[in-house]
A and B are shown apart, each in its own frame.
Chain A
């Protein structure tokens, strides 16, 4: 797996800025650096995340299905109610 293309990173960075409703005190380049770093992190640690999923889910679920599990866990832990 490779990191996202520059166009893909730009797309999600732009979407985040458009949809964010909470105050932000950093500039665009610093925000973009956060997207780049998290994409790099996911690229480096994708195998470790997959290995954290127990069987039979690990082998039975598709990559998008497992990604949505990760999204729901992150949303519940860090986004919901914030």
Chain B
């Protein structure tokens, strides 16, 4: 059964907690033309965290598509690396106070900034159930969005607008 789950930027918040090795700063909230976004720094690996519930139609045997919606604030035509990680919140099993629960492998999604700044952009990747920390339908989960600033070439702040998870 097809489903999608959309997280707009205001559904999450920046975090500097080292849920994943390499995080060294929190994404910061901002407004772009009255649209709420989360800003990711060009020189530090910033992160933002979201929380959701896996739809009942989720098929663990199929990959999940991860769409990142974003825009570049100042820098054009250069690579921007996004990474998305998941943590399963399993009923009476997961210690949600632990910072070491995210699956260490996520999905890396790279895009190239448009030739004009502040144009809406969307880019996709796919992730397996194992890399989604083996989440199951109906379970709560946490999602971490990271900019791999150390690995990309874009000199500007990048603005996360939304994230969509889906299966067809």
Residues in A lying within 8 Å of B, measured CB to CB: 10, 13-14, 17-18, 20-29, 31
Residues in B neighbouring A13, C-beta threshold 8 A: 43
Are the C-beta atoms of B74 and A27 separated by less than 8 Å?
Answer: no
**Known contacts A25-B76, A25-B77, A27-B78; is A20 also within 8 Å of B43 by CB?**
no
For A14, give its contact among B42, B77, B153, B156 (CB under 8 Å): B42
B15 within 8 A of partner (CB): no
**Known contacts A14-B42, A14-B43, A17-B43; is A24 also within 8 Å of B153 by CB?**
no
Residues in A neighbouring B44, C-beta threshold 8 A: 14
Prevailing SS type, chain B contact patch: loop
Residues in B lying within 8 Å of A, measured CB to CB: 41-44, 73-79, 117, 152-157
Interface contacts (Cβ under 8 Å), in number, total: 49
A8 to B96, CA, bound (A): 39
Q: Which residue of chain B has its CB nearest to the CB of A17?
A: B42
| 5 A–B pairs (Cβ distance < 8 Å), ordered by A | A13-B43, A14-B42, A14-B44, A17-B157, A27-B79
Are the C-beta atoms of B78 and A20 separated by less than 8 Å?
Answer: no
Q: Which residue of chain A has its CB nearest to the CB of B115?
A: A25
**Known contacts A17-B155, A18-B157; is A23 also within 8 Å of B76 by CB?**
yes
Residues in B neighbouring A24, C-beta threshold 8 A: 74-76, 155-156
Residues in A neighbouring B153, C-beta threshold 8 A: 27-29
Are the C-beta atoms of B156 and A17 separated by less than 8 Å?
Answer: yes
Residues in B neighbouring A21, C-beta threshold 8 A: 73-74
Are the C-beta atoms of A25 and B75 separated by less than 8 Å?
Answer: yes
A23 to B42, CA, bound (A): 14
Are the C-beta atoms of A18 and B42 separated by less than 8 Å?
Answer: yes
Residues in B neighbouring A27, C-beta threshold 8 A: 78-79, 153-155
Are the C-beta atoms of A18 and B74 separated by less than 8 Å?
Answer: no
A28 to B78, CA, bound (A): 9
Residues in B neighbouring A31, C-beta threshold 8 A: 155
A29 to B151, CA, bound (A): 11
For A23, give its contact among B43, B74, B152 (CB under 8 Å): B74
Q: Which residue of chain A has its CB nearest to the CB of B76?
A: A25
4 tightest A-B CB contacts, nearest first: A14-B43, A27-B153, A17-B42, A24-B75
Are the C-beta atoms of A28 and B76 separated by less than 8 Å?
Answer: no
Residues in B neighbouring A17, C-beta threshold 8 A: 41-43, 155-157
Are the C-beta atoms of B155 and A20 separated by less than 8 Å?
Answer: yes
